[in-house]
């Protein structure tokens, strides 16, 4: 004998209003007038009225109605498929990205297609990937700041591996593979460009004061990680394109390392970046003085 389905949403208008009134002191202690003439109480009663209507309708949705709703979403139950499984399948398909519309869509789909390149993960098991998308930008044909092109989308592939030289030899084929995948997902009339990063070199010389002379390697590693285009930056998601590097960034970073007394001097050669450019560390010298 099946268990009876309980009606869980059974709150009526009076209970909804009473619950709302008990929450008022929590969110607004200065609100003390609960008379029906108070405009706030009027709104509480109005929302309670509409909530009661919605709760009533929830209990009136039959299995047949749910199946009709699924058909509107393009989902048809399979043979012997349970209704709950069909609803789960419908909800899951709406969380999957299969069409490139926003910049986030392009970045996600570009990453997925990149990792699907035949043999790339077996050849480069330590591969780290970051994808960047620029809307209304043509990174293939423009020059300097003159890269604005409406209807064009440029996707930048930032790849890192210990075997970087071999990977660079395959970049043309990789870019073509990703572009073909994105062309299948893009909206009509959109032109997609898949390019490599545009790097600008930065040089850093730093003198730090510390008791341990071997701490220089720690400082070096921390700065290299901070400027990493894939996993650097303040949030660990890669250096933001176009974001200039300041000496104050290095002071704040290094003086937060345990064992560093203070930063004595910083010589920084850091160019201004365009919105689509990233840093590449050209030279880094760390000197530790007692």
Locate 24 and state its tokens.
């008022």
Locate 213 and state its tokens.
């002379």
CA distance 200 to 270: 8
Q: Mark which of 195, 227, 261 sits at the end of a domain.
A: 195
pLDDT of amino acid 142: 66
pLDDT of amino acid 3: 57
pLDDT of amino acid 224: 93
Instruction: Report yes or no on 8 lying in a domain.
Output: no
Backbone angles phi, psi at 60, to 5 degrees: -105, 0
Strands (DSSP E) along the chain, which ranges? 128-137, 148-160, 191-195, 198-210, 260-269, 277-289
Locate 231 and state its tokens.
């996993």
Judging by beta carbons within 10 Å of its beta carbon (0-12, 13-18, 19+), is residue 36 exposed, middle or buried? exposed
Instruction: Note down the domain range covering 183.
Output: 103-195
Instruction: Report yes or no on 18 lying in a domain.
Output: yes
Do 206 and 284 reside in the same domain of the chain? yes
Do 111 and 187 reside in the same domain of the chain? yes
Instruction: Report yes or no on 6 lying in a domain.
Output: no
Specify the number of domains making up the chain.
3
pLDDT in tens, the chain (290 residues): 555 655 656 788 999 999 999 999 888 889 988 898 899 999 999 999 999 888 877 767 788 888 898 998 888 888 888 998 988 888 888 778 888 999 999 999 999 999 999 999 999 999 999 999 999 989 888 665 678 889 999 999 999 999 999 999 999 999 999 999 999 999 999 999 999 999 999 999 999 999 998 999 999 999 999 999 999 988 888 998 989 999 999 999 999 999 999 999 999 999 888 888 898 899 999 999 98
Instruction: Report yes or no on 258 lying in a domain.
Output: yes
Do 113 and 185 reside in the same domain of the chain? yes
């Amino acid at each position: 004998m099946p268990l009876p389905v309980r009606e869980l949403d059974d709150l009526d208008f009076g209970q909804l209003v009473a619950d709302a009134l008990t929450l008022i002191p929590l969110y607004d202690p200065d609100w003390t007038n609960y008379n029906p003439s108070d405009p706030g109480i009027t709104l509480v009663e109005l929302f309670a009225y509409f909530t009661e209507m919605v709760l009533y309708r929830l209990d009136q949705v039959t299995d047949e109605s749910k199946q009709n709703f699924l058909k509107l979403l393009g989902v048809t139950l399979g043979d012997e498929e349970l209704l709950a499984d069909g609803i789960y399948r419908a909800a899951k398909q709406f969380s999957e990205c299969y069409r490139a519309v926003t910049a986030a869509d392009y970045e996600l789909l570009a990453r997925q297609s990149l990792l699907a390149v035949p043999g790339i993960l077996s050849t480069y098991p330590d591969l780290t990937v970051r994808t960047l998308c620029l809307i209304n930008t043509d990174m293939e044909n423009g020059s300097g700041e003159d890269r604005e092109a409406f209807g064009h989308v440029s996707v930048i592939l930032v790849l890192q591996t210990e075997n970087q030289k071999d990977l660079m030899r395959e970049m043309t084929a990789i870019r073509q593979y990703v572009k073909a995948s994105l062309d299948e997902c893009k909206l009509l009339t959109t032109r997609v460009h898949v390019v490599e990063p545009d790097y600008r070199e930065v040089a850093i010389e730093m003198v730090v004061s510390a008791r341990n002379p071997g701490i220089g390697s720690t400082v070096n590693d921390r700065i290299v990680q901070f400027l990493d285009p894939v996993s650097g930056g303040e949030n660990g998601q890669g250096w933001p394109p176009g974001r200039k590097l300041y000496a104050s960034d290095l002071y704040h970073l290094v003086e937060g390392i345990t064992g560093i007394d203070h930063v004595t001097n910083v010589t920084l050669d850091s160019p201004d970046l365009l919105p689509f450019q990233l840093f590449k560390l050209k030279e880094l010298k760390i000197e530790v003085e007692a």
